[in-house]
Structure formats: structure tokens, C-alpha cells
């Protein structure tokens, strides 16, 4: 039997309508879809497959050409522009969500930005402006989104963000983004402590390198991506499907007692003391 789904919307289960999803009845808002290679889109597909109803927000220039067609493909109607550097725009999106959906069960933050010139050369050369921009877009935006979403969140709601190993260890050229991710991971812990008493969980996934738009054109990325698969314990790269699976876990009751955590989805790379192909 078809319940709560129009004929135009594709089945989540390829016709097996009775399967119970881990996120049935949950409503999620996802920030950071740029295209179908985006980690945010991998997360969206996974959450949708488990029964979540989703909405999307991305920067305005991406909405009509990129985001709306992807949203349409999973029957999502909520698509709103937002530059996370603007408190007004964040407030507007959350207001629109309240009008359309009321509460918010899942908030996904999958975005980052630093100036290209700050992702090459020496970290010591990072300008004051470049530092502030990277930290504003990549770390402070999580705090701003959570604050403006707070009245929509309720016991059982989950917030998820995306980090990278460069937060913890030096990765050549990651530079100011590493500092921004360190701030992001610390923000996850402080937000988790703030919102924990309200039953709201806040976690991060630290993903291995994935060839998304944000990774394209990064000096040396291709080489690093290849070398990663040669040395990671699982001897492979990480996919957006891998990240989506972990996101389902962190956004569902399966992880009901986990908050303030950074979960590595990196084929084991971070456990290595000396990343080599031997052993």
C-alpha cells in the first residue's frame, strides 16, 4: 500500500513499501549540497532511504540548476537559499522551515570554505581576513545554524557536521582549514554540552578524502586520494555512501547515547602511526 507518497515520487525501497526505516517520520534539513558528488547529497540519499523527509539549503547560485533537480528526485519540496555568513539568511531559512514543517529532527551541516590561496603555500602566511573567513564559514556557521534552529529542535533531534583529519594532525596545504576544523570539532563538544540537557545530540563525521567539488582543483589532491587507498587499513577510498551510512546511525536512535563525538569514516587511516603500504 502507498501511504504518504505521491505516484510521482520514487519509492525508497524499489517497491518493497513495508520495510521499516530507521528514520521513518523524521524531518531533516541539509545544508551543503552543491551537486550529486557532494557529501551532503550522499547523506541525503541515505537519510531518505531510511524514511526521512528532507529539505535543502545551499547558496543561491546553486539552487535552480543543481539543488532543485536533486531535491525533486527524492520528492523534497523545501529548497531555500542561504549564505551561512548571514544571520538574517539563516533566520529566514529556519522561519520558512517552521512554517512548512514545524519541528526539526535532523540538522546536517556539510559545508566549508577557505580562500584558495590559503590552501596552498605555508600556513604561516595566512592573512587575518583569510583566517576569519575560513573560521566564519566552516566553524562559526554550525553555532549560528544550531542557535537559530534551537526552537525547532526537541528531545531526540540530532545535529551532524563534517570534519577532516587535518583538524588533528598536520596535512600539507590544508592549512587554515585544519584550524577551522579543529574549531568545528571543539564547537561540536560545546554545543553537545549545551543542548544535551534538552535531549539534542551533536556529532561530527571525520571523513577520508572524497573527490567532491571542494576537493577538485586542490593541489596534490589526486595524488593524496590515490595514496590513501594504498595505505588505509581497508585499502580503499571512502565514498559518500560510506558517509551516508554513518550519518543514518548518528541521526537515528541507534546512536541515542552518543553526543559530542567525532566518528571517523576513513577506512581506518587515522589509527596508523606510520602510514605505509607494509604490514
Among 43, 54, 71, 112, binds ligand NAD (CB under 6 A): 112
90 Rama class: left (phi>0) / alpha (psi -120 to 50) / beta: alpha
* 137 belongs to the binding site for ligand NAD (CB under 6 A): yes
| Residues contacting 192, CB < 8 A, separation 6+ | 201, 202, 203, 259, 260, 261
Q: Counting beta carbons within 10 angstroms of the beta carbon of residue 256, is it exposed (0 to 12), middle (13 to 18) or buried (19 or more)?
A: exposed
Regarding 231 and contact with ligand NAD (CB under 6 A), the answer is no
The helix/strand/coil state of 67 is helix
Choosing from 140, 174, 190, 264, the catalytic residue is 174
Query: Using the rule CB under 6 A, is 140 a contact of ligand NAD?
Result: no
Helix (H) or strand (E) holding 186: helix 175-195
Alpha-carbon gap, residue 26 to 157, rounded angstroms: 9
- The verdict on 186 binding ligand NAD (CB under 6 A) reads no
Least distance CB 213 / ligand NAD (angstroms) = 4
Interface pattern 118-147 for ligand 0WE (x via CB under 6 A): -x----------------------------
Within residues 171-190, the interface with ligand 0WE by CB under 6 A covers 171, 173-174, 177
Our CB check for ligand 0WE shows the closer of 25 and 121 to be 121
Q: How far apart are CA 54 and CA 78, in angstroms?
A: 7
Known active-site residue 164 = yes
Binding status of residue 84 toward ligand NAD by CB under 6 A: yes
- Nearer of residues 113 and 123 to ligand 0WE, judged by Cβ: 113
Out of ligand NAD, ligand 0WE, none, which partner does residue 38 contact, by CB within 5 to 8 A per kind?
Answer: ligand NAD
Question: Any contact of residue 164 with ligand 0WE (CB under 6 A)?
Answer: yes
Measured distance CA(228)–CA(225) in Å, rounded: 5
Is 174 an annotated catalytic residue? yes
Task: Verify binding: residue 182, ligand NAD, rule CB under 6 A.
Answer: no
- Binding of ligand NAD by 51 (CB under 6 A): no
Alpha carbons 157 and 151: distance in angstroms, whole number: 11
Q: Which residues contact 238 (CB under 8 A, 6 or more apart)?
A: 207, 208, 209, 210, 265, 266, 267
Question: Phi and psi dihedrals of 30, rounded to 5?
Answer: -115, 120
> Is residue 160 at the binding interface for ligand NAD, with CB under 6 A as the rule?
no
- Residue identified by cell 551561512 is 84
Q: State the residues that interact with ligand NAD by CB under 6 A.
A: 32-34, 38-40, 58-59, 62, 83-85, 110-113, 137, 162-164, 207, 209-210, 212-215
Which residues sit at the interface with ligand 0WE, rule CB under 6 A? Answer: 112-114, 116, 119, 164, 171, 173-174, 177, 209, 214-215, 218, 221, 224
Catalytic residue ranges: 164, 174
Amino acid at each position: 500500500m502507498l501511504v504518504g507518497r505521491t505516484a510521482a515520487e520514487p519509492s525508497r525501497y524499489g517497491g518493497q513499501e513495508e520495510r521499516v526505516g530507521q528514520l521513518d517520520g523524521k524531518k531533516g534539513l541539509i545544508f551543503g549540497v552543491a551537486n550529486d558528488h557532494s557529501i551532503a547529497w550522499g547523506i541525503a540519499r541515505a537519510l531518505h532511504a531510511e524514511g526521512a523527509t528532507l529539505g535543502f539549503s545551499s547558496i543561491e547560485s546553486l539552487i535552480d540548476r543543481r539543488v532543485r533537480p536533486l531535491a525533486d528526485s527524492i520528492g523534497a519540496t523545501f529548497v531555500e537559499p542561504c549564505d551561512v555568513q548571514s544571520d538574517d539568511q539563516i533566520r529566514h531559512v529556519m522561519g520558512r522551515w517552521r512554517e512548512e514543517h514545524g519541528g526539526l529532527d535532523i540538522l546536517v551541516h556539510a559545508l566549508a570554505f577557505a580562500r584558495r590561496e590559503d590552501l596552498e603555500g605555508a600556513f604561516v602566511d595566512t592573512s587575518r581576513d583569510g583566517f576569519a573567513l575560513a573560521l566564519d564559514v566552516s566553524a562559526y556557521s554550525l553555532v549560528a545554524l544550531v542557535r537559530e534552529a534551537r526552537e525547532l529542535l526537541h528531545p531526540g533531534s540530532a545535529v551532524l557536521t563534517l570534519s577532516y583529519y587535518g583538524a588533528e594532525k598536520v596535512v600539507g596545504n590544508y592549512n587554515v582549514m585544519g584550524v577551522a576544523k579543529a574549531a568545528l570539532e571543539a564547537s561540536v563538544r560545546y554545543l553537545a554540552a549545551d543542548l544535551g540537557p534538552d535531549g539534542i545530540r551533536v556529532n561530527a563525521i571525520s571523513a577520508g578524502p572524497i573527490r567532491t567539488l571542494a576537493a577538485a582543483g586542490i593541489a596534490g589532491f589526486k595524488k593524496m586520494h590515490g595514496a590513501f587507498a594504498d595505505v588505509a587499513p581497508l585499502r580503499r577510498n571512502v565514498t559518500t555512501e560510506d558517509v551516508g551510512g554513518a550519518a543514518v546511525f548518528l541521526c537515528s536512535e541507534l546512536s541515542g547515547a552518543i553526543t559530542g563525538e567525532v566518528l571517523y569514516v576513513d577506512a581506518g587511516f587515522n589509527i596508523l602511526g606510520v602510514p605505509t603500504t607494509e604490514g
